[in-house]
Chains A and B, each alone.
Chain A
């Protein structure tokens, strides 16, 4: 419950942030500011973590089978 409240507060904080116009977003467009530089690299990382850690999945990424590398 405590975690839920904290998450809600964070979400409300996010929703209260003022707008940043397109002209002021040059730095945000840098590839270094992307959470994932490319989707193939994201897959590479998720593959290692999802096959080696029982706590993978649950975050929108596939948590199914694939790869018989148990």
Chain B
């Protein structure tokens, strides 16, 4: 019964949000109807103008152990060794004075220890897994105060397809110091099912529906704050299907998940400019879901400008979460739901990071760019349940 109630609440929220978006759109169109013309709707006719181009490369090197991995002794934790190379490219361009497009192309090249171990659940397919996505967001500035955005994306892996569609509307106050944004999104995943022994069992799918509300506010000439609430409901096959759970008979069983998950997250952010030409950013997040996971996250970033073109950043993040109610490292065969995924265990995580960024004015002399951006960042992520990740990232970009 509680799940029916939750679904009803979610349905009402999604319905209200969608209605708000549609009403806003129609109100905007009505307001602009006299005289109706292409120019009245789309703005001045102008050629497509490139605004920015950014490329980022990130390398993730993970090591540790977890009971869901098969790369270990029977009944014991296995290796979670994993390396990811991730290049990304983003292009932003303007079509007239009202329409703006953002194209984003990330590629993931993943090498993981667990699938390499025999019996290999997914054969060579995931030993070296490549994934590519294409994401396109179009924003339409309907009036000075209202901006509507539409996002479509597709994600392709060898055994996995994912499609996302999102719609959002932003409303700015008259003096533009307050913005309220409401958004809905729908993601559909479709993938092959492999059990823990490597047998394939056709296909499965997963649906993720989300609604979010955000309020950002200029609090003073040096302070800005934001509050964001999001609700997500997932249904379908919620595991990767080949993860294993050690059993009390010394064997390994396939993990299984509930068919539905409801997630709530409340996020607060604050940015404060500091008198010595620096800035402090604080982030806080509370999370709760129907797996029984409750989490708190705090993050502090300190930034210091060294010159007009250079700034540095130091960051610290702390995260604590309770475990899923069905997390276990020793299950009875056939028990459902059951998982040994260390990501769903009770854990604490810390991240320490540093970054240096350059925004060099090039005055249209280099590739016609006004500014050239360069940055290099390093982060160390470590968890209380034997896992750490080193992250190295660098970017080069141009503003035109």
Whether B240 pairs with A63 at a CB distance below 8 angstroms is no
Interface-located stretch among B4-12, B36-44, B210-218: B210-218
For the complex, give the distance between the alpha carbons of A53 and B58 in Å.
19
Query: Which residues from B are CB-within-8-Å of A17?
Result: 177, 217-219
Whether B218 pairs with A28 at a CB distance below 8 angstroms is yes
B316-356 contact mask (Cβ, 8 Å, vs A): 1 or 0: 00010101100000000000000001011101010000000
Q: Is B84 an interface residue (CB 8 A)?
A: yes
Most buried by A among B210, B264, B319: B210
Q: Is A25 an interface residue (CB 8 A)?
A: yes
Number of chain B interface residues as a range: 35 or more
Interface-located stretch among B22-30, B140-148, B226-234: B226-234
Query: Which residues from A are CB-within-8-Å of B215?
Result: 11, 14
Whether B56 pairs with A10 at a CB distance below 8 angstroms is no
For the complex, give the distance between the alpha carbons of A59 and B173 in Å.
23
* Majority-rule SS of A interface residues: loop
Query: Which residues from B are CB-within-8-Å of A22?
Result: 175-176
Number of chain A interface residues as a range: 35 or more
Query: Which residues from B are CB-within-8-Å of A41?
Result: 56, 377, 393, 395
For the complex, give the distance between the alpha carbons of A28 and B221 in Å.
7
* Contact surface of B with A, Cβ cutoff 8 Å: 54, 56, 58, 60, 62, 68, 82, 84, 86, 88, 90, 102, 104, 106, 108, 110, 112, 114, 122, 126, 129, 131, 133, 155, 157, 159-160, 162, 164, 173, 175-178, 183, 185, 187-189, 191, 206, 208, 210, 212, 214-215, 217-222, 224-232, 234, 240, 243, 263-269, 271, 273, 278-279, 281, 283, 285-287, 289, 291, 293-295, 297, 303, 305, 311, 313, 319, 321, 323-324, 341, 343-345, 347, 349, 357, 359, 375, 377, 379, 381, 383, 387, 389, 391, 393, 395, 397
Given A14-B227, A33-B271, A66-B131, 9 additional A-B pairs, CB 8 A: A21-B175, A32-B273, A37-B357, A38-B56, A52-B387, A52-B389, A53-B349, A59-B229, A62-B208
